[in-house]
Homo-oligomer: A and B are copies of this chain.
Amino acid sequence: MSSTTPLLVVGSVAIDSIRTPFGERERSLGGSATHCSVAASFFTDVGVVAVIGDDFSEEDEAVFHERRINTASLQRIPGGKTFRWAGEYGFDLNTARTLDTQLNVFADFKPQLSGAAKRSPFLFLGNIQPALQREVREQADARFVAMDTMNYWIENTREELLKTIAVVDAMIINDAEVRQLAGEPNLIRAVRKILSWGPQMLVVKRGEYGAALFTRDSYFATPAFPLEGVFDPTGAGDSFAGGFMGYLAQADKIDEVTLRRAVIYGSVMASYNVEEFSCDRLRRLKPDEIRDRFHQFKQFTHFET
């Protein structure tokens, strides 16, 4: 397949090993590109740009095919091993402790976009090295580009990161990262500072507390969906990004009404993703369930003036 998809997702495809207070899984399909593209695939056609090794099984690949994700740019390195991450969550599920990271084929990942991939109008740059994110951004003709990042890049490659931030339209990052990146404990001031560096908007993920959207002249916030059974938080942020970007790409516009709905769809996808290991819940998800939870968001946030 070499057709252009409305959304292109670049990032990691990983084989995770996960322990939570509720169970463990030795081999759990993960990675930012995986969680994001699977979530986005409920809204639009998605192409994924990532790298895998020989150990990536047919069963792993089936997850992409089931969701009709374009894998033309999912590069398999013969003799290589897929990126591995092992992590553990404590009782409150808020923070992962990394037990092991093996970059493997990801260490030499140098994404080269195909002609078809370059033409995707929406591009999500998952959490990878900021210089690579920028190289991809420069190859792409996308009219709307969003990026994620993490504390590691903020601490170790700050200058590269700032250059990348200057050339994207949106950042989708968590609140701790916003404060750390801006060096400012007040979230609102931290956001204003980052917006002054280039992006038109910041989407701030607050985990169990919800999400917020800041542009230069608007603000929107939502609580998270109230879940009694959070099982595995891995990929929550990436499935949020997938719902957000997938909905925008489907709508093919970037106005305030559409952006706010996209934040809710992102929240819906994250809420399902954390209910089971890996993409298990999303693999069984029905479009009706997405609509149901979207409308529940309306019900539990509505008040009369």
Contact = CB atoms under 8 A, between A and B. Distances in A.
Interface of A: 91-93, 185-189, 192, 206, 208-210, 212, 219-223, 226-230, 257, 260-261, 263-264, 294-295, 297-298, 300-305
Given A185-B92, A189-B228, A226-B188, A305 B301 contact: no
A261 B302 CA distance: 10
Given A188-B227, A228-B186, A304 B91 contact: no
A221 B263 CA distance: 16
Given A91-B185, A209-B209, A303 B226 contact: no
B305 A295 contact: yes
Given A209-B206, A209-B210, A301 B188 contact: no
B208 A260 contact: no
A223 B226 contact: no
A170 B178 CA distance: 36
Given A92-B185, A210-B209, A261-B303, A222 B223 contact: yes
Contacts of A261: 303-304
A202 to B, nearest CB: 12
16 contacts: A93-B185, A187-B208, A188-B228, A192-B228, A209-B209, A209-B210, A209-B223, A212-B226, A220-B300, A221-B300, A223-B223, A257-B303, A260-B302, A263-B303, A297-B303, A301-B301
A288 to B, nearest CB: 15
A245 to B, nearest CB: 17
Contacts of A93: 185
A277 B208 CA distance: 30
A94 to B, nearest CB: 9
B230 A226 contact: no
Nearest to A304: B257
B303 A298 contact: yes
B228 A303 contact: no
A210 B228 CA distance: 19
A189 B206 CA distance: 20
Contact of A226 (B219, B260, B297): B219
Contacts of A92: 185
Given A186-B230, A192-B228, A220-B300, 9 more contacts: A93-B185, A186-B228, A187-B208, A188-B226, A210-B210, A221-B300, A257-B304, A260-B302, A298-B303
A86 to B, nearest CB: 23
A91 B223 CA distance: 25
